[in-house]
Structure 1
Amino acid sequence: MAIENSHHESVKLLPWFEALGKAFNLESMPQAILFHGQPGIGKFDFARWLSKALLCEADLFSTGQKPCNACEACRWFDTGNHPDCITLLPQSLKGRLVQAELEGSPKMDPVAPEGQDDGDGKKESTFIKIDELRAVLGGINIGSHRGGKRIILIYPLESLREDASNTLLKSLEEPNPDTIFILVSDRLDRVLPTIRSRCQLIALPKPSRELALNWLESELKILLSDAARPEELEATIDEQAGAPLSARDQIVARHLGDDKDGVGLAINSTRILVEALSNGPKIGYLECAEKVQKAPYSALLVCMQRWLFDLQLSYQLGEVRYYRRHAQRISQLASQLQLTKAQRLWSTLTLARRHENHPLSTRVQMESMLLQYQQLFGD
């Protein structure tokens, strides 16, 4: 998962969301909005920008825009002290995504992502606890601190277990007119249909390739002392399916050699996995599974899916979509591919993604997947 914002600063509207941002009528908002789309395109950033705009106390006719970034409400939002904006995140994200709206949360160092050790031998939860949700929802019938709207931002929405989802549903069915729910999902298929039906669904698009590359180049000039090569930018954008924030995190971690935090660990592990997959029938599946076992299982599955997609695309059309820097090797492997077995593995990976939060050992599951991969080639 991309770090969509990681420090306290004025929230900026990403360029590919500018038209959408201008289209919102801030004076007539639905009680619940559900933003969904591909991970790593900035959905959380957009949700924060909208939250700030809704809480901005400036006169729109005087300023010409919201948020104004100058009123008391905007300053509170930027410093993390606005009492009417509450963000609910799983523990595994609280140290990595913006903590500005985390009610009562002290500053903390980055923590590990899904299923990773937090340094004390404990694993951070990847779910939003029902007690946290109840504590927030229990206060929505009390007037807001500033006498205006109260914003409840939940990300990712699919991190609510079934009991927590049903608790949220009750509040959506009997909404408080002064409370707006801004919900964000990376995996809409995992959100309860009854919750989806109570929200205005808005699909957030990824930017064009040209816009993504331009934004990525300007971001990296700020974040890195040494410039990334254009071919590296293009290859990484492709590998991340056009998601610019994911591409940024990949390149920054690669240049800084940082594999200690969750993002860096996932990036380094997927690199190891791609190198192993490029060996085709000669893959050392046991060794690879051991090396990547601490990475988020979901990241490994996505990597395998994209590699397998490229293999099948190369087999059928002679093209590669994601791993273009490995196009020659993929073409060689595709010539040995048994398509029926590849399609079976694709189905297995798709099913695994539906149950990727199952507590089974990542190492054991990856050994099974990689063994199946090894058997795709030759007779």
Structure 2
Amino acid sequence: MLEQAKTSLPWHSAQWSALVSQPHFAHAYLFCGPSGAGKRAFASAFAAWLMCDRPAAEGACQQCRSCLLRQAGSHPDLLLIEPEEAGKAIRVDAIRQLVDFISQTAQQGGRKVVVLHPAEAMNQNAANALLKSLEEPTAETYLLLVSDQPSRLLPTIRSRCRVQPLGLPAEQPAQDWLQAELPDVDERQRRLLLQMAAGAPLKALLLKEQDAIAQREKVVEGVKALLKGQVSAPKLAEQWNSVALDLLLDWFAAWTLELLKLNQGAQEIANSADMDKVLGYLAPRVSVSALLDWQDWLLQHRRQFDNKANLNRQLFLEKLLARWKVLAERR
């Protein structure tokens, strides 16, 4: 069931107004941009608007029969296509369901809408099956694709969609929005959440739900203990067993980028307040070549993780921590 869709998020108001004021709509849209920017909320709001009997400039009315059916998760002319399990692929059977859906007459006599998210999760067979639907559109049927990584889509799919980039808000609007959503969280924690989310407000909300602040504190203390020789890499890898691997990879990648900037004088102090002393200590002691080698290794394994490679978590973390520790010893 699609989430309750009212309007797009405030930082996408200009894109929203431009979209719904068009006299004609494309058969297929590709909403793309950074993870956590609000693309799915935008697509859901647009799906609701397309199906509403009395749509207004700001969004669906939420009161007509079509809106009530959608809110109940029982609108027969709205279809959501997504992986059966988080992180898994969208398979060809799901796209065949989509093809059957769009070939049928709208049961409510209006428009039919499909929301496909995340579009890059389609495997090769699924992507090929979708192409025919994009090549032979049916009247009053709209395909809304949502993607964090549009470059992973087939070029033939991208070329058949109207691409709508949706970016992140500026820092202060993001902080204001997050404060309204998390009134019980103090400013320091909100800033840390937004920093960990690379400025993406919805991702910051998700990190709060995942208790990422407590995990981050655990990781930072562990990194400090490792560099001081108070804990071994294998032992620390065991202690981090409950920390999400994608968060660890994101944090080490961000710290590496800061080290490069500090090392080359591109910035004077670390932006990561909880790691400023560690990064300030390492920056003058590590060589650029060592940093670049480390960054290449880290990004290579991040791609493997993104591509669902079967990494041995314990061995991977031991190697990651061992390589991190020797950074300061290489010149």
Normalization by structure 2: what TM-score? 0.88
Percent same amino acid among aligned pairs?
A: 27
Matched, 1:249 2:245: no
Give the aligned length. 324
Aligned to 2:315: 364
**Partner of 1:182: helix, strand, or coil?**
strand
Deviation at 1:280, TM superposition (A): 6.1
Aligned to 1:229: 186
**Aligned-partner Cα distance in 2 for 1:320–1:148:** 57
Deviation at 1:213, TM superposition (A): 0.5
**Partner of 1:13: helix, strand, or coil?**
coil
Alignment CA distance shift 1:148-1:321 (3 Å): farther
**Aligned-partner Cα distance in 1 for 2:69–2:43:** 17
Alignment CA distance shift 1:174-1:218 (3 Å): same
Return the letter of the residue paired with 1:220.
Answer: L
Alignment CA distance shift 1:83-1:320 (3 Å): farther
Matched, 1:328 2:290: no
Judge conservation of contact 2:17–2:57 (CA < 8 Å) in 1. Answer: no
**Partner of 1:77: helix, strand, or coil?**
helix
Aligned to 2:286: 337
Alignment CA distance shift 1:9-1:203 (3 Å): closer
Q: Rg larger in 1 or in 2?
A: 2
- RMSD (Å), alpha carbons: 2.5
**Aligned-partner Cα distance in 1 for 2:39–2:198:** 15
Return the letter of the residue paired with 1:11.
Answer: K
Alignment CA distance shift 1:86-1:175 (3 Å): same
Deviation at 1:65, TM superposition (A): 4.7
Alignment CA distance shift 1:337-1:83 (3 Å): same
Judge conservation of contact 1:56–1:73 (CA < 8 Å) in 2. Answer: yes
Matched, 1:11 2:2: no
Among 137, 148, 152, the alignment partner of 2:99 is 137
Structure 1 unmatched runs, 5+: 1-5, 94-113, 115-125, 222-226, 255-263
Among 237, 240, 243, the alignment partner of 2:197 is 240
**Partner of 1:176: helix, strand, or coil?**
coil
Aligned to 1:213: 175
Aligned to 2:63: 70
**Partner of 1:360: helix, strand, or coil?**
coil
Judge conservation of contact 1:240–1:246 (CA < 8 Å) in 2. Answer: yes
**Aligned-partner Cα distance in 1 for 2:170–2:239:** 35
**Aligned-partner Cα distance in 1 for 2:39–2:14:** 14
Deviation at 1:335, TM superposition (A): 2.3
**Partner of 1:335: helix, strand, or coil?**
helix
Return the letter of the residue paired with 1:57.
Answer: D
Alignment CA distance shift 1:253-1:56 (3 Å): same
Structure 2 unmatched runs, 5+: none
Return the letter of the residue paired with 2:202.
Answer: L
Normalization by structure 1: what TM-score? 0.77
**Aligned-partner Cα distance in 2 for 1:20–1:333:** 43
Aligned to 1:290: 238
**Aligned-partner Cα distance in 2 for 1:7–1:220:** 23
**Aligned-partner Cα distance in 2 for 1:371–1:78:** 51
Deviation at 1:371, TM superposition (A): 2.5
Return the letter of the residue paired with 2:37.
Answer: I
Among 24, 38, 41, the alignment partner of 2:37 is 41
**Per-residue CA distance 1:173-225 (angstroms, 9 max, x = gap):** 2222332111111122322222212212221110111111111011112xxxx
Structure richer in helix, relative to its length: 2
**Aligned-partner Cα distance in 1 for 2:286–2:109:** 64
